[in-house]
């Protein structure tokens, strides 16, 4: 199932493929007309995203987080810089298999992620229209990987289902692994190095107008980023200690249907 390649990124050359990706800038979540809504991308994140924290070389993408004063944005200056890219408006899909190979530096406060958001949010603002987290990690937990879905209703009436996997002894997130998501009409599954570790086939929204299998029955697009601090790991948010620069390196991303 899902063996036909419909999209891939192998990061050739020495620059990001602008036909595939958007680069995001700043620390603020903005409205559709560019007005500030909430800092920290809604997650108390402490990094400012810039295009200069991306590097494409030797066939991989490197998202580089640095400890440095960022440009001021809406009266706030972040102590870290990093990068975030996405395919919104350029590539989205409904159902299929996502496979990518990646590794990331370790250390308190690092939050690498490969995830998906709805292209058109047909059921309303986050998280009524859903979010699929293919891969997240907490830099202080070097052998743990997380896969999550968010749903339920518009925040704060949202909920989530989180799944955690443990990498084998001696194999941390700082080594290359193959991460995989299989998204079917009635289920979502996560794998590492070809081994399944979680599957969900039930999600119920608080909003009665959103009936299962909604909201995961619409096209989603891809996002890749490396955050610093934030609400995903509050135990590290006030104790950020990785050795900078920290790097989230992606070898390839492929989508099959």
Which amino acids are annotated catalytic? 131, 136
142: left (phi over 0), alpha (psi -120 to 50) or beta: alpha
Non-local CB neighbours of 170 within 8 Å, separated by 6+ positions: none
75: left (phi over 0), alpha (psi -120 to 50) or beta: left
- Tell me the C-alpha distance between 238 and 240, whole Å: 6
Does the CA dihedral 147-150-156-157 come out positive or negative? negative
Instruction: Using alpha carbons, list the distances in angstroms from residue 73 to 67, 76, 78, 151, 156.
Output: 17, 5, 9, 30, 26
* Residues counted in the chain: 257
């Amino acid at each position: 199932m899902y063996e036909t390649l419909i999209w891939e990124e192998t990061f050739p050359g020495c620059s990001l493929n602008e036909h595939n990706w958007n680069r995001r800038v700043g620390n603020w979540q903005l409205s559709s007309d560019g007005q500030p809504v909430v800092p920290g991308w809604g997650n108390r994140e402490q990094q400012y995203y810039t295009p200069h924290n991306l590097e494409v070389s030797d066939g991989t993408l490197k998202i580089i987080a640095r400890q440095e004063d960022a440009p001021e944005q809406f009266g706030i200056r972040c102590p870290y810089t990093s990068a975030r890219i996405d395919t919104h408006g350029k590539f989205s899909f409904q159902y299929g298999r996502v496979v990518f190979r990646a590794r990331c530096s370790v250390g308190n406060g690092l939050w690498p992620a490969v995830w998906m958001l709805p292209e058109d949010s047909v059921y309303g603002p986050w998280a009524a229209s859903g979010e699929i987290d293919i891969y997240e990690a907490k830099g202080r937990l070097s052998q743990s990987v997380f896969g999550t879905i968010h749903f339920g209703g518009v925040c704060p009436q949202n909920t989530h289902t989180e799944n955690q996997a443990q990498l084998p002894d001696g194999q941390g997130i700082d080594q290359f692994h193959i991460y995989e998501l299989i998204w079917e009409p009635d289920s979502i599954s996560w794998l590492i190095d070809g081994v399944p570790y979680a599957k969900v086939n039930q999600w119920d929204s608080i909003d009665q107008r959103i009936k299962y299998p909604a909201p995961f029955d619409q096209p989603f697009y891809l996002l890749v980023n490396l955050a610093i601090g934030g609400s995903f790991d509050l135990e590290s948010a006030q104790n950020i200690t990785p050795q900078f620069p920290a790097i989230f390196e992606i070898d390839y991303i492929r989508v099959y249907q």
